[in-house]
Structure 1
């Protein structure tokens, strides 16, 4: 009888151990280019969720940015993606500049604010967007959506991105910074968290200039395109930036494919917005300090995944 019970116990352990192993869900998280805020925050979320959400293993992968993440979510190349609050609503409904509806993605919550902070070197003489006429500009990373925002901002100044720049190139964050240092480009577009690692690094060895809106043009842009939030980049964010810089921005969020299991998404969101999760993310990157449960469901640019919706309702931040 003892032998039978021992054999039965071993069989039960093997059965449930195998089932638990088989139940682990492996997900790819499409983040951003190395050196950018999306890469740091996405990597931090992937690490914390893997360690704290039962049955979930998340692998962070680099990407060109929001547009590539939208495409990967749609095609199934990734199950989770870093997004913003500007482009996904247009993509979800198939509005310009998107040529089809990317409606396989769902929201997982707002993460933090992103600041528009195109930059250059003092030696270029560039100060405002009006000074970019005839220049070589890096409009963002390949596969990203920063160029769409950048072009909105220069158009608000009366510039035509197709005619008024000498050349437009697309480079990952670190390569763009190096190209600026080498004189291969005159200005670099950046929309990211504060501080952005590559800009901080550049400011240590070069005289940095953050490109600003010419007087009156920020108000004009916001009146025409209210999806942009008026933000102020605080003095001292980077070496040599001694005064507040008026800019615009948006919210960063994370999204997930609609077909990911509700319980899996519930556990991921619950882990990320837990007190321990928020504490961890605040250490990963300065932008993580802006994460909060209170703001997670304050804006819903695309429909929430049922798993995220369930958690936010339980937490009392969504009716």
Structure 2
């Protein structure tokens, strides 16, 4: 009996030692693992997604080819695979980022201001989860027609068939506001909702008379038209430019240089808004910091003509919404924000 008792005690002691040993091993391994995870998170800048979608615009505009180069820069510099996708541009891009269908997007500054305020195309839908990353370059409002159309002023558009872009798009709002400054509305023209490629194709085929195109110059679709047709860009009179800028401060006077397109042999006075990149607020500060730094530290590698106009020094121009904390951190480090 005594022997059985001693044996039982010995077994219990042995079991206890085994459990303690196992527990100690697990505890030590857990601590090492946790430390490793923390160090990994710090080096990676927080939770990094594997993929990012960058929404651009139509394939015949400026956003798409430029966005392709920027997606490559982000992929190479951050290690996050980033794909540029064609889209219907500004207004649709804002909605897609708002609804979580994309993380990054090209947008006009005026459209993003409307979204943040819940005005125009965003009436009753204040967008508060889409933040600024940085502005890029002026987007020129080009009223394109053929040299033999007889259209030489905005007022001449009355009664003509004119492409104004998709309803709610940046181009559509630009057209609406420019017509307004000239005492006109969409009812004064035969409005067509075409993309840039369809617009210039329509001018070439004689199906439409003119088109509003808001994009960086030179715009691929207009260059394509200029290869077969003498192009005319309708100027905006200085007093109308001044009135537009006073009423809508996100516009700025702009000039299309002579020779930009075939048939244009003198400067054309018009107006511009700015292109910018927006980002979802669901991305971490560190991830957006890395994206911002990747883009603005590597603008010299952009081969698209608009790359010459993109600088970190001008990256805050025209932004009327809050910056993402990651972008804010970058610009503060660069001495561009207090």
Q: Is residue 300 from structure 1 mapped to residue 319 from structure 2 by the alignment?
A: yes
Partner of 2:192: 169
Q: How much does 1:203 deviate? A: 1.2
Partner of 1:222: 245
Would you say the 8 A contact 1:34–1:172 is kept in 2?
Answer: no
Q: Please tell me the root mean square deviation across aligned C-alpha atoms, in Å.
A: 2.2
Structure with larger Rg: 2
Partner of 2:301: 280
Matches within 5 A, 1:224-239: 224-239=247-262
Q: Distance in 2 between matches of 1:187 and 1:295?
A: 32
Would you say the 8 A contact 1:65–1:141 is kept in 2?
Answer: no
Query: 1:37 aligned to 58, 62, 73, which one?
Result: 62
- Please give the per-residue CA displacement for 1:269-288, whole angstroms capped at 9, x wherever unaligned: 111011xx21122x1x2111
Q: How much does 1:215 deviate? A: 5.9
Q: Distance in 2 between matches of 1:264 and 1:289?
A: 26
Q: Is residue 49 from structure 1 mapped to residue 74 from structure 2 by the alignment?
A: yes
Higher mean displacement: 295-304 or 257-266: 295-304
Partner of 2:219: 196
Q: How much does 1:214 deviate? A: 4.2
Q: How much does 1:245 deviate? A: 0.7
- Please give the per-residue CA displacement for 1:22-80, whole angstroms capped at 9, x wherever unaligned: 955311111101111111222211111111113x1111111111000111111111111
- Please give the per-residue CA displacement for 1:257-304, whole angstroms capped at 9, x wherever unaligned: 011121111111111011xx21122x1x21111000111124431100
Would you say the 8 A contact 2:110–2:170 is kept in 1?
Answer: no
Matches within 5 A, 1:1-319: 24-54=49-79, 56-99=80-123, 100-141=125-166, 144-161=169-186, 163-165=187-189, 167-214=190-237, 216-274=239-297, 277-281=298-302, 283=303, 285-319=304-338
Question: Aligned in 2, Cα 1:142/1:176: closer, same or farther, shift over 3 Å?
Answer: farther
Q: How much does 1:143 deviate? A: 6.0
- Residues matched between the structures, number: 298
Q: Distance in 1 between matches of 2:115 and 2:247?
A: 20
Q: Secondary structure of the residue that 2:162 maps to in structure 1? A: strand
The two structures have a TM-score, normalised by structure 1, of 0.88
Q: Distance in 1 between matches of 2:141 and 2:97?
A: 25
Q: Distance in 2 between matches of 1:193 and 1:78?
A: 23
Q: Any gaps of 5 or more consecutive residues in structure 1?
A: 1-11
Q: Distance in 2 between matches of 1:298 and 1:248?
A: 15
Higher mean displacement: 221-230 or 72-81: 221-230
The two structures have a TM-score, normalised by structure 2, of 0.83
Partner of 1:8: none
Q: Distance in 1 between matches of 2:181 and 2:75?
A: 43
Q: Any gaps of 5 or more consecutive residues in structure 2?
A: 1-32
Would you say the 8 A contact 2:107–2:276 is kept in 1?
Answer: yes
